[in-house]
Chains A and B, each alone.
Chain A
Amino acid sequence: MKEQLAQLKNQFNQEIAKASSEQELAELDTKYLGRKAGVLTNILRGLKDLGAEEKKIVGPLANQLKAELEAMIKDRRSRLKGLADNQTIDVTLPGREWPQGSLHLVTKAIGEISEIFEHIGFVRRRYPEVEWDWYAFESLNMPPDHPARDEWETFFIDREPVGPKGQRVLTPHTSSGQAREMERQQMPIRMINISKCYRRQIDVSHAPMFHQFEGLLIDKEVNIADLKGTLDYFAKQFFGSDRQARIRPFHFQFTEPSFEVDISCGLCHGEGCKMCKSGWLELGGAGMVHPNVLQAGGIDPKKYSGFAFGWGVERTYMMKSGLSIPDIRMIYQNDLRFLKQF
């Protein structure tokens, strides 16, 4: 009996493989599973005449086979149906248009940058965008009348100082957060500040509002090697593992020594090409926190040292993606044809 079932299965397999239409399938269904005279139906019907022992063995086998055959017919049927449907749908018609959302490119850039620094323990913070002159300049080693202030074309709320901390200004850089962070008096500091900045400049390469990010690390025994390591880590994480960062001498009032940070050109890999300056692209500024700045923030420069770095979010993102946006102001004009590209 067992053999008979196995043989039946074989035969069925051969026949179903040949079945290529719904009608053939129906015939097959009737032949094996038909209520009146199906081959398997007959066997199942005959089970009751078997001895108790044999019934115990063959019964489940026969029922299992029935389920198998049913499933195979069903499967075959749906496959045949699929073939038929394909012939009635014009697959070249456009797919349904789902609404296409987009994150602003600045949000994307901020997300990537903050994640990279959070991995090495930098904590993201928020500071005022409308800030006292003292935080924006004076605490950063730029007393009133200092010519270095001219480099920041600053928006003022007040023409003259209105309190002990001077005028209210729109933060011209994220460095305004340095003294605020130090005032919290929680050491060590590993802070990242990504924020809107404002300068009185408007042309194809300057928007009056833009974004900067700033890292500040203050601890005992922090030195230039630590800064180099941090910058190199960022360069590799953000731009790619084949890229390098280097620092060159520069000058800022609030760091000493001060550096300009370069990243190796991704196009020529340091050979020098039209896109770069002798193999390197300028990223932004960095330096060891000036002792006067530590003091302004209430930190003893004899005990602690630190480094800071900061530069433009938009520029950094465009450098990474190789985007050539002809006019930087387009980033803030919110033309949906522009935004939906991101």
Chain B
Amino acid sequence: MSLQLRRKTHESVIYIDRDSAPRIMPSGEDFILEDLPIGTRVLYPNPPLKGLPNREAAIRYALNHPHGCDPLFAQLEPGMQVTVAVDDISLPLPPMATPDIRQTVLEVVLDMLAGHGVDDVHILIANCLHRKMTEWEMKRMVGARIFDAYYPDRYYNHDAEWADGLVKLGETKHKEPLVLNRRAAESDLLIYVNINFVPMDGGHKSVAVGLCDYESLRAHHEPQTILDSDSYMDPPRSELNRKCTRLGKLVDEHLNVFHIETAINNRMYKGDMDFLLKNEDDFTAFDRMKFEAMRYTMNKLPRPARRKLLHSRPAQYEMTACHAGKTDPVHDKIVAKGFEQYAIPVSGQCDILITGIPDISPYNVYSILNPLLVQVMALGYHFNFYRNKPLLKKGGVLIVQHPCYDDFDHKFHPSYIEFFNRLLPETRDSFVLREKYEREFANNPSYVEMYRRGNAYHGAHPFFMWYWGENGRQHVGKVIAAGAENAHVPAMLGWERADNLTEAIAMARSYMGNSAEITMLHQPMIGVADME
């Protein structure tokens, strides 16, 4: 480890020394304490930005001072048809303490609509091929007052399989089709309410992806687009973002969209679990006590109960910015604000990257982090949290700390089970999977009905999860699953396994050499490595 690297470069970049405390790592529903090798670089999330003191006032200001168009009130006419689309439960993570930002925005917007004689208003959840939100989740997201007034006839989930509820807008010049929700497309005004959690969210992706159908989605949710994105968390270098922008232009040709985007800070926990966001060297005796108490309690509980307990802890995010108006200028400002929170300046790639996988992902809210989701969190999200170049060197080793249990949610992830057990033993090649099986799963009548009438992810969704890890899969030399409780799940994913982190590091060093540079992402890591 060179002195240059050992120097403290940023408050979120810590180096392990002789007297450093062990670090807390998530491992699924558990939290473990690990002594890391001396010289290991640990990246922490930046301290939370200060939230706006009056959320409602900030929203009103944004609506009255929009970017690139007239204020919202000036666009309203009595008798017009308006649809308000909102992000689904995949944002933010975990679901935030009530009132949700969407509730506050909706309260302001709906009052304004009512005040201007606009009565034909529908609230649409832009879930695309994600699972439909349950009644309880929908109520929690918008509050009882809005829920009681609008549910179920005027507040509902988008249905990407309801042919009569969709309309084709056209194609981009690159022949990417766009079929959108009919109600949204035929409204006089579409208002989109977004919460920007990671830089990939929001912008043209909100409408063009959130409200489209399977055929439109498969034009850009495919392995080559992911491979061409370096990374998809860095909008200017993301092919996915470029495709969404092209589709967004098509949306803007046909629809009048008023975009409301919000940025939040990264205060995931406070009070009893806030120590998870702190540097362990700075722990007070009380922090250590809280951690031990949590670990003791969790150890006494069976896994489903631990999961339930973790999922019952709402996030404490605060809104840091709100902008409204035309999609592009609004999104630019929100992304800039997001990077203000998330960007961690990092110099030098590492040979071994360690990341614990917590029981948090956009796709397992109130559910199980199944093996495919562990894969997407490791090789998709955690690997792609960089700007300019990957944190891990090409051919380096990624160590994933997770039990890798073979457990799936039959209600939410039915097609994942077949994908994992039937397809992965045959091939892990994303291109082959897409060509040979994606349409079969997408059109499987059972999966279609479970998506439409139940709360299942669409039949094609596990494929997108696999493609999402394509960048990482092509970049890393090896993935080691530390703490995996079985051999077959890591083997099916193409990974090696180790009993614990120490063994995993030894295995990684035998591959990368004893002087290998090690970096650990301290979870929960909502941050982007801003590489020099």
Our verdict on whether A and B bind, yes or no, reads no
B residues near A, CB below 8 A? none
A residues near B, CB below 8 A? none
